[in-house]
Chains A and B, each alone.
Chain A
Amino acid sequence: SQTIHQWPATLVQPVGSPLSLECTVEGTSNPNLYWYRQAAGRGLQLLFYSVGIGQISSEVPQNLSASRPQDRQFILSSKKLLLSDSGFYLCAWSRSRTYEQYFGPGTRLTVT
């Protein structure tokens, strides 16, 4: 069976500090990978998606970036965090050519 991991689970970072969130998927190969952000009291916003190693598509221009160094690893980064980056970050995967996305447990980021 497939599992998806995210870490850390919670993070408190000062404004201007760097960020690295990691997501890994087990039990499948060549998944589509996604990063979403959920701000308090709001819906989910797709930030990035990837259909393969090194292939990243950005949905929202901002100070965040994503990378996919390995087939089942997806990293969300920032060089300098803003207050507005606070939120709940969810990683998801889906099999190529099918449509359900399966979500990880999320990382709750607070920028102070």
Chain B
Amino acid sequence: AQKVTQAQTEISVVEKEDVTLDCVYETRDTTYYLFWYKQPPSGELVFLIRRNSFDEQNEISGRYSWNFQKSTSSFNFTITASQVVDSAVYFCALSEAYSGAGSYQLTFGKGTKLSVIP
């Protein structure tokens, strides 16, 4: 069975600090997909990134970067120069490539609540 662990329940940083959110996953599949979502106080989950198991290249998008390491089954998310608007709950998720039903179910971690203090 697949599992996603986000060990950090809550993190507080001062604005402009860098912060890394950890994500460790478990799966028996060799083909899988990893995701990060942001849930601001409004509640709607916002898709940030998808990474497949064959691509271990790190990705950078503005102040956001992601570090995927298959050797440690981790997919960590770093926010550089954090801003108050980054305050949200961040979820890491895992999907195996084939579920047998044509649908692709996401297994979510429990989330990390990030508070950026001005």
Contacts and interface: CB of A to CB of B under 8 A. Distances in A.
Interface of A: 32, 34, 42-44, 46, 49-51, 57, 59, 88, 90, 92, 94, 96, 99-106, 108
A101 to B, nearest CB: 6
Nearest to A97: B102
Most chain B CB atoms below 10 A, which of A44, A92, A102: A44
B45 interface: yes
Interface in B34-49: 35, 37, 42-47
B103 A32 contact: yes
The B interface is mostly helix, strand or loop, or mixed, namely loop
Interface stretch (B14-22, B54-62, B66-74, B106-114): B106-114
A55 to B, nearest CB: 9
Contact of B43 (A46, A49, A99, A105): A105
Contacts of A57: 101, 103
Top 3 nearest A-B pairs (CB, nearest first) are: A103-B45, A43-B110, A44-B108
Given A43-B91, A100-B50, A49 B105 contact: yes
Contacts of B106: 44, 46, 101
